[in-house]
Amino acid sequence: MISEPELVGGTAFPAPASAPLAPPPPPPPPSDPEPYRPRRPWPWALGGAVAASALWAGGLAAYDPDDRPDLGGYRTDRDPCETAELSGLTAAFGPKGPAQDEPLKADHPALFEWDCSVTLASKPVPYTVRVSYSLHRVTDPGPEFEARRADPQLAGGGDRVGGIGELAYYGGPWGDQSLEVLDGQAVLRLVLQADDYDEEKDRPIEAPQLDPAAMQTYLVEDMQQLMKALKS
């Protein structure tokens, strides 16, 4: 049997060796670090900050407790029923008598109200004049006044009257012979009512028909005098 020949003698071949890895390249020399610069805010961010600052400042102004509306000279130390001369109505219905009952009076930092009534000594039917005076010390009564008088669902109605106050109505929810006036922060009302019931005889009294144009003239004249007196 013939076997594989063996190498006898001679130089042995060395095992192949792996080549050494090349050393990594040195790092580049350090450079000077760039100085830190904060990022500029976006324009909308600046605008938002300015708007927020303006709103905050405006809010402080809006809620300034010392920022009170001009009351137009209206006073609260006079009884409207005593102050009201009612010269027009007294000429038509007789002299003014004493006040009826105790007046309803409320004095709050935001609102002053006075409601009272006086009699007119007319025959055969006596009349009562109700005087109402409200002074709004903080809020504007104008929008509510206009909304109420313009909307029938809010008991509005009546005829617009010019030449007195900022806004005035004759008739409406307070009766046919009534005048309500908005003048700045004040709301005033005169209401003429017939006492058409005889308490002694326990029976109604027929009240005479009144001329609406004449009643409006009397109420406007008397209201103008009352407004002037409450501001003097």
Per-10-residue mean pLDDT, the chain, length 232:
43 46 54 43 35 38 62 95 95 88 92 96 88 97 92 82 96 93 98 83 80 96 97 86
pLDDT attached to residue 6: 45
Parse the chain into domains and list their residue ranges. Answer: 80-195+211-230
> How much is the pTM?
0.69
Which pLDDT does position 52 carry in this prediction?
A: 36
Position 126 scores a pLDDT of: 87
As given in the structure block, the two tokens for residue 96 are 């003014």
Measured between alpha carbons, how far is 83 from 99 in angstroms, rounded to an integer? 12
**What's the confidence (pLDDT) of residue 27?**
56
Q: Which residue pairs from 69-73 have beta carbons closer than 8 angstroms and sit at least 24 positions apart in sequence? A: 69/136, 69/137, 69/138, 69/140, 69/185, 70/184, 70/185, 71/135, 71/137, 71/184, 71/185, 71/186, 72/183, 72/184, 72/185, 72/186, 72/231, 73/231
Distance CA 159, CA 42 (A): 58
